[in-house]
Copies of this chain bind each other. A is one copy, B any other.
């Protein structure tokens, strides 16, 4: 299971540098230090390899923002900025992946790959929508597509800048900057001076993946565990205290080398409260799987 990851990482590195078509399976194999044949015990084809790469890294980068978004302690504006920030931090950490992603070029577009791209876009847009509504309420609805579209494009282009540029842009500043610009544009729409250009009909291709019950259906187990934990905490009378603990867990889990003992301790705090215990247990199993639950 570890060699698989090594292959993914080597492949990302090479593909980021030379592009998908100009990276051969042989080169990837050489770079990991195994034979070409071995690659095929992990990935049935080159295409499956790149799809696995996308799934692996996209999850890593996006989960961070998702989790911060659940935190109800921060006011909406700051929370939005914070979510961008942690995503930018993630991007900085997985620079090669982003470079690869930005090159765009990959296998001759197949069902599988297109489906994934679609899910990714849907996810991004439903995430943005959620945040815009948190910030401005339902009255932003008529302008949401214009705002989301501009936001997404500015976000993406700054991402590119981060990855390319020598001197690093600070994720926290960038997050605040972005939200500030969105805010200016949104306020202008709300004042009614600009008219929107995009509507639901036109944007249908992007709206799939968001569905009635909360937009995040295709989510991984881990994210669902986060979500359900936060939900049960919100219902609790002492929610403030438990939110703090959970935020601290979230913060720790975002580090490249989370301190396992700290995490276990924090989880213990949650598990001591009966109404939350079960959900906390579930998340702990997701985040710290190897040693399991030896209660």
Q: Residues of A with Cβ closer than 8 Å to B?
A: 18-22, 103-105, 108, 149-150, 152-154, 156-158, 161, 164-165, 167, 169, 173-174, 177, 180-181, 184-185, 188, 194, 197-198, 201-202, 205
The answer to whether B108 and A105 touch across the interface, beta carbons within 8 angstroms, is: no
What would be 29 A-B contacts, judged by CB atoms less than 8 Å apart?
Answer: A18-B108, A19-B108, A21-B21, A21-B105, A103-B104, A103-B105, A104-B104, A105-B105, A149-B157, A149-B158, A149-B161, A150-B154, A153-B153, A153-B154, A153-B156, A153-B157, A156-B157, A164-B205, A165-B202, A169-B197, A173-B197, A174-B197, A177-B194, A177-B197, A180-B194, A181-B185, A184-B185, A184-B194, A185-B185
In the assembled complex, the Cα of A44 lies from the Cα of B80 at a distance in Å of 52
Residues of B within 8 A of A157 (CB): 149-150, 152-153, 156
Residues of B within 8 A of A180 (CB): 194
Given A108-B18, A153-B154, A194-B180 in contact, is the A167-B103 Cβ separation under 8 Å?
Answer: no
Other A-B pairs, 15, CB within 8 Å; known A153-B158, A154-B154, A184-B194: A19-B108, A22-B108, A104-B104, A149-B158, A150-B154, A150-B181, A152-B157, A153-B154, A153-B156, A156-B157, A161-B198, A164-B205, A165-B205, A169-B197, A184-B188
In the assembled complex, the Cα of A198 lies from the Cα of B168 at a distance in Å of 11
In the assembled complex, the Cα of A167 lies from the Cα of B197 at a distance in Å of 12
Residues of B within 8 A of A181 (CB): 150, 185, 194
In the assembled complex, the Cα of A167 lies from the Cα of B156 at a distance in Å of 24
Residues of B within 8 A of A164 (CB): 205
In the assembled complex, the Cα of A150 lies from the Cα of B177 at a distance in Å of 11
Chain B nearest Cβ from A11, distance in angstroms: 17
Residues of B within 8 A of A158 (CB): 149, 153
Q: Which residue of B lies closest to A108 (CB)?
A: B22
Q: Which residue of B lies closest to A201 (CB)?
A: B167
Residues of B within 8 A of A201 (CB): 167
Chain B nearest Cβ from A192, distance in angstroms: 13
Q: Which residue of B lies closest to A174 (CB)?
A: B197
In the assembled complex, the Cα of A21 lies from the Cα of B46 at a distance in Å of 15
In the assembled complex, the Cα of A119 lies from the Cα of B205 at a distance in Å of 34
In the assembled complex, the Cα of A154 lies from the Cα of B173 at a distance in Å of 20
Residues of B within 8 A of A198 (CB): 161
